[in-house]
Amino acid sequence: MRAAPLTVTALAAALLLTACDSSSDDKDSGGPTQSSTSACEIGDMGVQVGPANTAPAAGDTGNIPVTLTNNGSKCTLEGFPAIDLNAADMSTTVPQDKGAKSQKLTLAKDATVTFTITYVRGEAGGKASLDVKTLNVGLPGGSTDNNSKWSYGPVQTQNGSQGDVNASVSAFSQAGD
């Protein structure tokens, strides 16, 4: 009489192990149990630049928060924002903040993230300054940019190179709840 319950228990355990192996294979092969979210696109985002803590004079540091609101379907941000500063005759890319670490964020519709551009104000008309006119914001894995007017004064350059600005961009940070 005891052999029957033991046999049933062993059979049930074997079936459970087989079922676990099957679902594991689906996950590894990209089967139906694996969910994927596409990279966020800037065209699906509401972009708000500022209000800023503008650097008041040459040599001062300013901070410009940028808020992105997902107006599209669920998407993922992984990495850093791509920021370009554009003057009349050239464009330069703002480097990532060396101390910042990116994280993978999944954004539902209407979710919000922020990042900050930190810059040192340059001297108006100075050789070590870039007279920025516009700001381009791009997303990792995205194919388009968002253009915004730059009204925060010239940006100081490093080592006398117009393409090497004294600025950085932080990683994305989840905003709100």
Task: Tell me the helix, strand and coil percentages in the chain, rounded to 5.
Answer: 15, 40, 45
Alpha-carbon distance of 130 to 123, in angstroms, equals 9
Question: Tens of pLDDT along 136-163?
Answer: 999 997 777 899 999 999 999 987 666 7
Residue 86 has pLDDT above 80, yes or no: yes
| Mean pLDDT score of the chain | 81
Residue 65 has pLDDT above 70, yes or no: yes
CB 113 within 8 A of CB 42: no
Residue 41 has pLDDT above 90, yes or no: yes
Question: Tens of pLDDT along 163-173?
Answer: 789 999 999 99
The predicted pLDDT at position 158 comes to 83
The predicted pLDDT at position 10 comes to 40
Which has the minimum average pLDDT: 122-126, 163-167, 173-177?
A: 173-177
The tokens describing 90, both together, are 């050239």
Mean pLDDT over residues 25-48, rounded?
67
Alpha-carbon distance of 92 to 144, in angstroms, equals 17
How many CA within 13 A on the CB side of residue 149? Answer: 2
Q: Is the dihedral of CA 80, 105, 76, 112 positive or negative?
A: negative
List strand residue ranges (DSSP E) for 31-74, in order.
45-49, 61-70
Residue 80 has pLDDT above 50, yes or no: yes
Q: Is the dihedral of CA 41, 136, 62, 140 positive or negative?
A: positive
